[in-house]
Amino acid sequence: MIIYGYTLAFFLLLPPFASAEIYKYKDANGKWQFTDQKPKGAEPEVVGYKSSEKKEQGPSFHVEQIKGVNYLIAQNPFHAPIMLRLESEQVPNGKKEWLVPAQESIKLFQSRGAIKGYRYRWQLGDPNISPANQSYHFPVQSQLCAHISQSFNGRFSHNKDHSRYAVDIAMDVGTPIVAARAGTVVGVKDDYHMGGVNEYFLDKANFIRVLHDDGTFAGYFHILLGTAVVKPGDKVSVGQVLARSGSSGFSSGPHLHFVIYQNKGFQQLSIPFQFVTKNEKVIEPVEGLKICDQLIPQ
């Protein structure tokens, strides 16, 4: 997700917490559907809901004065580097980019006068990395067989750069989700309880994001509300339980949306990958593939 920000002097303008009215109704097949638009030809039940979502944290800025000179300082709160672009009449050519290391502060520019308004955007990750040729362990711990319901270039929802090389793994609600590769947890969203297949739910999915040693990230999406057992900064090993499967956000049923991606030019670019079994057999994650417990390291 690319994040934009504006400042007037050095006050950051942020939108308030969202609230929504959700309608619940049964479709022609007798299945419950949820929508933020009042449906026609149905008697919906209004679900009272006020969002408890937390706005994603971003870089912070402050001005520090040293010997009469004002410095604009950027602070990166994440356990991963961020790419930052600043647009201001006070920087050369009107804009400049920096790579801000994880949990560090850097000086952006200085002025003997006041720091004027500026515009910025940022993206998690170093855009200059070269991803390793890495296979991934299966991210599901189950005594049953799980199957891949949508894979690379899937027509339903895997048709954008950020999701083109993602896989959806169908499973029962509450199935343990495990780390497919060792790394550092850099993001956890565990605050939403509903799911559906209209646009309202596109940014609602609960997730866990893990940074790997080559600078790539793994995203584990649609986790069940209240089941995340890791937090930002935690080190995780292969097979370690992260959360349990759910259907939060844009989802038609319980599954795990699993994707490997990198920051490329202020956008999330998904990367093709393969799975490896405990017998070191490499398998392509094709749609319809059924993968059973005895093949997967626990």
Name the CA dihedral angle for 91, 94, 97, 102, rounded to a multiple of 10 degrees: 60
Please give the backbone phi and psi of residue 196, each rounded to the nearest 5 degrees, phi first. -175, 175
In tens, the pLDDT along 260-293 reads: 999 998 888 999 999 988 778 888 888 888 877 5
Task: Name the pairing type of β-strands 274-276 and 282-283.
Answer: antiparallel
Mean pLDDT of the 125-140 span: 91
Residue 156 scores a pLDDT above 80: no
d(CA 232, CA 229): 11
Residues 6+ apart with CB under 8 A from 133: none
Residue 66 scores a pLDDT above 80: yes
pLDDT recorded at residue 197 = 76
CA distances from 253 to 128, 249, 261 (A): 37, 10, 24
Given this structure, which CATH class describes domain 135-295?
Answer: mainly beta
Q: Which CATH number fits domain 3-12+55-124: 2.60.40, 3.30.160, 1.10.110, 1.25.40?
A: 2.60.40
Residues of the chain with CATH 2.70.70.10: 135-295
Residue type, position 12, single letter? L
Average confidence score pLDDT of the chain:
81
Quick one: which of 237, 282, 247, 262 has its CA closest to 169? 247
> E strands within 67-137?
69-75, 82-87, 95-100, 105-111, 119-124, 135-136
Q: What predicted TM-score, i.e. pTM, was given to this entire model?
A: 0.77
Mean pLDDT: which of 55-69, 186-200, 277-291 is highest? 55-69
- Which of 52-56, 172-176, 180-184, 220-224 is predicted least confidently? 52-56
Residues of the chain with CATH 2.60.40: 3-12+55-124
Tokens 């866990």 -> residue: 208
In tens, the pLDDT along 80-106 reads: 999 999 999 999 999 999 999 999 999
Instruction: Give me the residues paired with residue 210 across strands.
Output: 185, 218
